[in-house]
């Protein structure tokens, strides 16, 4: 054969070069967006949200309704799941091209306010394009940061305990208002003894639940700019949690991981799970048992530490169509028809117009409404504070590190230390 060493090498290099080129080209992606005014004066605005399929179907119906009422405004929808939404949003916003109107939550308000992405909607309210009245239970304050109105709540929700009613009944235990943590864990023990299933799916990795526990003890997860608890507090919380995993009171984290995207509760791995009350609607569809909402355990038999959180709509500060964006938000939070279509998918409807228009008929939505009524009546609701910039990163870290503790891969004390060090970096970012 006439091939020389050099030729062989060159062939190899050529092949390598071609591979690199292909990879380079494959890595390119297109992105772009336009929000402009067309020749006939029709304005197009982009509207983005996260959520599952039922929410998307409902929101598309509300968009159709809006476009009928405002024929000069066209809405371009964009939607993904939660994780992908914020990754995409960050990139879009940094490029100066975020959607004109988008779903938002308390963990992101300060972050994107600090970066100048969110519009103060007060001016639009003053101009008469957006009505800031008739919000229930003072929930409008959830969208305020430093005197600015940068989010308009679409619904209100609160943390709850979702229980497998059959499992609770079989064990003969009852979840009652004002019960303590000790009573809660004792109930789980009874369930474990009688039904051979774990009690809880992994409470100690949920940042929002730890927040409630801290509030019960006169603290909170976040202050305006930092963490509101000590490393020792967290070490204790995770040590107790890990002990309960070891004893089988909390479900095996390996199995919980396998069950995803199904929740551990609907997969039958445990008898109860802490989550936001409006999320509870998913369980009936996923699992075979009957699920109900139960009160948050307390420290003193009274204070649950609960508050009303909410999903909101925000507008981009640099939108070319501030008026239309405000009109759209106004329609989405006040129009009774929209309330009827959305139901409690994003929490109990935030305005009286929508709340009065939607009368839940199915047991799930009824349950959520009854639960929040009960919580409101108990008078235990505290005030929510907009989380500091970086809260989203800390929430993810809390879940991840809590998972490592559960798996026995990190000692609680080291885990607490790691969280504090990651929090420091997140606040600085």
> Footprint of another protein on this chain (CB under 8 A)?
1-5, 8, 12, 15-16, 19, 21, 24-25, 27-28, 83, 86-87, 90-91, 93-94, 115-117, 252-261, 393, 396, 400, 403-404, 407, 409-410, 418, 425-426, 429
- Residue 19 CB neighbour total at 10 angstroms: 10
Calculate the alpha carbon distances from 185 to 28, 140, 390 in Å. Answer: 53, 36, 33
- Tell how strand 43-50 and strand 101-105 pair up: parallel
> Nearer to another protein by C-beta: 340 or 400?
400
3-state secondary structure of 149: strand
**CB of 49 vs another protein, minimal distance in Å:** 19
Among candidates 5, 305, 79, which has minimal Cα distance to 178? 305
Please give the Cα distance from 327 to 75 (Å, whole number).
Answer: 12
How far does Cα 28 stand from its chain's mean position? 31
Structure tokens at 393: 């990163």
DSSP 235-293: HHHHHHHHHHHHTTSB--HHHHHHHTTS-TTTTTSEEEEEEEGGGGHHHHHH-SS-EEE
- Tell how strand 291-294 and strand 159-164 pair up: antiparallel
Which ranges in 103-230 belong to alpha helices (H)?
106-114, 122-126, 165-171, 181-195, 207-216
- Tell how strand 159-164 and strand 270-276 pair up: antiparallel
Vertex 404: Cα angle to 406 and 199 (nearest 5) = 20
- Token pair 């308000």: residue: 109
Please give the Cα distance from 135 to 310 (Å, whole number).
Answer: 12
> Nearer to another protein by C-beta: 292 or 402?
402
**CB of 268 vs another protein, minimal distance in Å:** 12
**Under a CB-based contact definition with an 8 Å cutoff, are residues 175 and 161 in contact?**
yes
Please give the Cα distance from 407 to 205 (Å, whole number).
Answer: 12
Vertex 413: Cα angle to 409 and 418 (nearest 5) = 75
What DSSP character marks residue 354? H
User: 348 - beta bridge partners?
Assistant: 156
Residues 6+ away with beta carbon under 8 Å from 253: 202, 245, 403, 406, 407
Please give the Cα distance from 63 to 55 (Å, whole number).
Answer: 12
> Nearer to another protein by C-beta: 50 or 179?
50
């Amino acid at each position: 054969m006439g091939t020389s060493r050099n030729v062989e090498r060159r062939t190899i290099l050529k092949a390598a070069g071609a591979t690199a080129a292909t990879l380079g080209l494959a890595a390119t992606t297109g992105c772009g967006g336009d929000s402009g005014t067309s020749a006939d004066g029709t304005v197009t605005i982009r509207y983005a949200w996260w959520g599952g399929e039922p929410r998307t179907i409902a929101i598309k119906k509300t968009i159709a309704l809006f476009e009928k009422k405002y024929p000069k405004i066209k809405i371009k929808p964009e939607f993904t799941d939660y994780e992908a939404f914020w990754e995409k949003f960050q990139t879009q916003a940094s490029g100066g091209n975020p959607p004109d109107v988008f779903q938002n939550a308390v963990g992101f308000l300060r972050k994107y306010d600090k970066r100048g992405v969110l519009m103060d909607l007060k001016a639009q309210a003053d101009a008469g394009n957006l009505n800031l009245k008739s919000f229930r239970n003072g929930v409008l304050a959830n969208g305020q940061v430093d005197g600015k109105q940068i989010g308009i709540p679409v619904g209100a929700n609160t943390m709850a305990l979702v229980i497998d009613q059959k499992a609770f009944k079989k064990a003969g235990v009852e979840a009652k208002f004002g019960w303590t943590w000790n009573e809660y864990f004792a109930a789980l023990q009874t369930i474990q003894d009688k039904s051979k299933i774990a009690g809880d799916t992994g409470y100690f990795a949920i940042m929002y639940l730890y927040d409630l526990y801290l509030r019960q003890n006169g603290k909170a997860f976040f202050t305006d700019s930092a963490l509101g608890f000590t490393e020792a507090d967290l070490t204790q919380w995770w040590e107790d949690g890990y002990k309960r995993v070891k004893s089988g009171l909390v479900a095996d984290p390996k199995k919980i991981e396998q069950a995803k995207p199904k929740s551990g509760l609907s997969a039958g791995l445990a008898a109860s799970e802490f989550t936001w009350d409006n999320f509870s609607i998913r369980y009936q569809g996923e699992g075979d048992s009957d699920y109900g909402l139960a009160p948050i355990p307390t420290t003193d038999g009274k204070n649950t530490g609960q508050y009303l959180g909410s999903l909101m709509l925000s507008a981009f500060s640099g939108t070319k169509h501030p008026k239309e964006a405000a009109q759209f938000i106004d329609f989405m939070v006040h129009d009774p028809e929209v309330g009827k279509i959305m139901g409690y998918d994003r929490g109990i409807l935030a305005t009286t117009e929508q709340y009065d228009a939607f009368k839940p008929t199915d047991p799930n939505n009824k349950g959520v409404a009854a639960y929040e009524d009960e919580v409101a009546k108990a008078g235990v609701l505290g005030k929510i504070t907009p989380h500091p910039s970086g809260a989203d990163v800390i929430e993810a870290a809390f879940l991840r590190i809590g998972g490592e503790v559960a798996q026995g891969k990190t000692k609680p004390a080291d885990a607490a230390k790691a969280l504090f060090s990651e929090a420091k970096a997140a606040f600085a970012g």
